[in-house]
Amino acid sequence: MTTAVPKLRKALKKSSPGLRIERELWDDGCDLVVGIDEVGKGSWAGPLTLGAVVVPKDRRIYKLRDSKQLRPGEREAMYERIVNWVDAWSIGHASPAECDRLGMSAAQKLAARRAIDGLGLDRAPDAIVIDGNWDFVGHPRTVKLVKGDSISLSIAAASILAKVTRDRMMIADAESYPGFDFEANKGYPCPRHKLALQAFGPTTIHRRSWVFMDNLMWTGTPRVAPGSQLTLL
């Protein structure tokens, strides 16, 4: 049963992503258009997560907004509506260890490839629409949109699927790592997260190549240099 989406708050009524970019691509012969967005890039712990969607041409969805504009309950309700609306959807992850080993740029490319492959399409996309000004997909027809999640319905849908999926993962991990408040901060920097790191050191889901490791009291856990073996710095 699909969860009802709460009535849109007044602040959200004026900002609505649309299908202008997608329609331009469809009219130009790009029949199969994929929208992609990521979450977790600035986090200290947890995966880098990318959502990928193919929205239908003949069915609209209402109340969909950029995931950052929605409250957790609104995102959860919209998640259920999106997965029942889109023609195809997928989530791709790069693990914390992969982020450390590959570096963030390569990890983002890896997660994007996994998300696109996970769509289960019978052919390659004709075009891909992404949020931001860096092409981490490498497709011949990539449309880069700054603040794309507030412009493109495809990107906005992908942003919600990625955000809800990753938040659920971090909430589940909070039970295994008490004291880090992952259920609230989702692995992002905050005062309680910093205090927990000072007290307990990094967990197995922390990105140990990140500079925050340099400021920790010695815990016996070394920082990892991206692309190399474990290195004490």
CATH of the domain at 122: 3.30.420.10
How far, in Å, CA of 31 to CA of 162, rounded? 24
In a domain, 91, yes or no: yes
CB atoms within 10 A of CB 85: 18
In a domain, 226, yes or no: no
The number of CA neighbours under 13 Å toward the Cβ of 184 is: 9
Q: What is the mean pLDDT of the chain?
A: 88
In a domain, 208, yes or no: no
Higher pLDDT, 12 or 114: 114
pLDDT at 232: 35
How far, in Å, CA of 127 to CA of 141, rounded? 5
Domain hosting residue 50, numbered range: 10-173
Determine the longest span between alpha carbons in the chain, in angstroms: 59
Q: Report how many domains make up the chain.
A: 1
- By mean pLDDT, which of 41-45, 87-91, 154-158, 213-217 is the weakest? 213-217
Closest CA to 212 of 221, 176, 181: 221
- By mean pLDDT, which of 32-41, 46-55, 63-72 is the weakest? 63-72
Instruction: Give the angle subtended at the CA of 70 by the CAs of 48 and 90, to the nearest 5°.
Output: 40
The number of CA neighbours under 13 Å toward the Cβ of 23 is: 8
pLDDT at 69: 78
In a domain, 75, yes or no: yes
pLDDT at 43: 96
pLDDT at 233: 33
